[in-house]
Amino acid sequence: MPENANTTPEANQPGPLIIGISSRALFDLDASHRVFEKEGLARYMAYQREHENEILGKGVAFHLAEKLLGLNDDGMDHPGVEVVLMSRNSADSGLRIFNSIEHYGLDIQRAVFTNGASPADYIEPSGAQLFLSANDDDVRRVLMAGYAAATILPSAIRENRSSQLRLAFDGDAVIFSDEAERIYKEHGLEAFSDSEKRAAMNPLAAGPFKPVLEGIQRIQSAYPMEENPIRTALITARSAPAHKRVIMTLRAWGIRVDEAMFLGGREKAPYLRSFGADIFFDDQTVHCSLASREVATGHVPHGVANEPSSDVSEGKE
């Protein structure tokens, strides 16, 4: 055994839930981005230096990050949350971002500045289980590498003033694999329903967000169920009889969701508004577009609905 091996019980404890967030998801960088698009990188870097003492406005994912980090301050014995800034800025132009982080009192200590390169290459060494970014190409690269990721969509920033963190997830191609969605695409709704009914007792394979749910549940388990600072919801267009396989899969995984809504194809946005989601993750652009009018939304460009030949944008999920 190596001399420096840590054999204490703490060494076997799971680490914190680590979330990588890009600067454009965390802060409102629209004006800066327009400078980059119109005048190029050199002018953008100069612009950021010129304005580095001007505090950036809050971005779509700001309140999510704030609530996640707030879980570390309650004195409870849980793994905690770490947010890592992952930015295409350089360290020099990124000074404005860190000034803004300090202004708002966000406990973000680690950062990766790539000076125009994709931060996707640094997801594994950062230990992040989830990556949130406004750059769809970076998100797709992270998903292809086997990690959860979502493209944060432009949205009116509506702060959920409840202190409780409320997270909502779609099912197929997000929490679960897209295996059932593929049957729907290739053979239609009736074949999908029949297949799911026959396979009701066979757990679905994991989707990219299963590890995220597991990390959330490790934090939730430190609190009484009735007084929990985190509440989760599964909001899916599935309906009976396709609901049973979802329930049995979550049971087999040992994962609970606090609320589950099987909507049978009804629009999800009103339910998200009633749930008060701080963020919603879905793989289909049509649902994300509608949801983003109500709540912060992350598009998960994963699975059959996001393949070039896909025509299921108005489909089951």
Query: Of 68, 62, 154, 56, whose CA–CA distance to 99 is shortest?
Result: 56
End-to-end CA distance of the chain: 51
Cα 163-298-71 angle, rounded to 5 deg = 30
The tally of CA atoms less than 13 A away on the side-chain side of residue 213 is 23
Catalytic site positions: 170
Phi, psi of 293 (to 5 degrees): -75, -20
Residues 209 and 242: their CA atoms lie apart, in Å, by 20
Query: Of 31, 287, 27, 265, whose CA–CA distance to 157 is shortest?
Result: 27
CB neighbour class for 38 (10 Å; exposed up to 12, middle 13-18, buried from 19): exposed
Strand partners, 7: none
